């Protein structure tokens, strides 16, 4: 008998749970940081740390399941590539103009989100779809950050991260 909740997923439930908790923590940092005047460098480091976690989770999921390995490798490379933009003393950050790192994080977020979104849609895993949408949302917000400066983007993004992180965590526990 076929059980849709027990079907093999390309990303294990524990990786989605970990990313849901990380998204919730990022949301808390963004909401609390907005009240305390979080600088854009702190915002970029927080978002970059989430992308690195997503990349590591995708890379580790290759060990347990090789399904959709191309998507996983692209997502892992993009996510772990964010580490070059997050580490403050890296050679990449030293050569970039101040706003360029935020734009690159935005592009990485959109690519990473689309990869996770496609994998989640193919697996029919709503937790992955929610995390993919969240990464796309964070990426688009990073890309539009220059034009939306008067609007408290970090505050709205923080609440979206908290909501999506909680939903993804609960859905991953349900699919366990």
Per-residue pLDDT, averaged over 36-50, amounts to 69
Name the residue range of residue 127's domain.
10-174
Q: What is the pLDDT of residue 38?
A: 59
pLDDT band for position 48 (cuts 50, 70, 90): confident
Q: Has residue 161 been placed in a domain?
A: yes
Return the CATH number at 104: 1.25.40
pLDDT band for position 90 (cuts 50, 70, 90): low
Q: Has residue 3 been placed in a domain?
A: no
Per-residue pLDDT, averaged over 11-19, amounts to 77
Q: Has residue 137 been placed in a domain?
A: yes
Q: Has residue 2 been placed in a domain?
A: no
Q: Which long-range contacts (CB under 8 A, 24 or more apart) does 135-139 make?
A: 135/51, 135/54, 135/109, 135/110, 136/109, 136/110, 137/113, 137/164, 138/47, 138/50, 138/109, 138/113, 139/105, 139/106, 139/107, 139/108, 139/109, 139/110, 139/111, 139/112, 139/113
Q: Has residue 142 been placed in a domain?
A: yes
Q: Has residue 4 been placed in a domain?
A: no
Q: Has residue 25 been placed in a domain?
A: yes
pLDDT band for position 25 (cuts 50, 70, 90): confident
Asked whether the whole model's pTM tops 0.75, one would answer: no
Q: Has residue 45 been placed in a domain?
A: yes
Q: How far apart are the first and last CA of the chain?
A: 18
Residue 151 has pLDDT above 50, yes or no: yes
Domain tally, the chain: 1
Those residues with Cβ within 8 angstroms of residue 70's Cβ, 6 or more apart along the chain or in another chain: none
């Amino acid at each position: 008998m076929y059980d849709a909740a027990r079907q093999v997923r390309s990303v294990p439930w524990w990786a989605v749970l970990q990313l849901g908790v990380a998204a919730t923590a990022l949301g808390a940092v963004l909401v609390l940081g907005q009240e305390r005047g979080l600088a854009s460098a702190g915002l970029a480091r927080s978002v970059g740390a989430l992308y690195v976690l997503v990349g590591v989770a995708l890379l580790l999921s290759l060990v347990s399941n090789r399904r959709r390995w191309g998507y996983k490798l692209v997502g892992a490379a993009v996510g772990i590539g964010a580490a070059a933009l997050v580490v403050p003393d890296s050679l990449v950050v030293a050569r970039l103009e101040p706003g360029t790192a935020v734009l690159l994080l935005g592009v990485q977020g959109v690519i990473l989100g689309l990869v996770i979104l496609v994998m989640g849609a193919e697996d029919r895993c709503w937790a992955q779809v929610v995390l993919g949408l969240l990464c796309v949302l964070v990426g688009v917000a990073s890309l539009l950050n220059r034009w939306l400066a008067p609007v408290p983007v970090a505050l709205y993004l923080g609440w979206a991260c908290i909501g999506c992180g909680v939903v993804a965590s609960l859905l991953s526990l349900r699919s366990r």
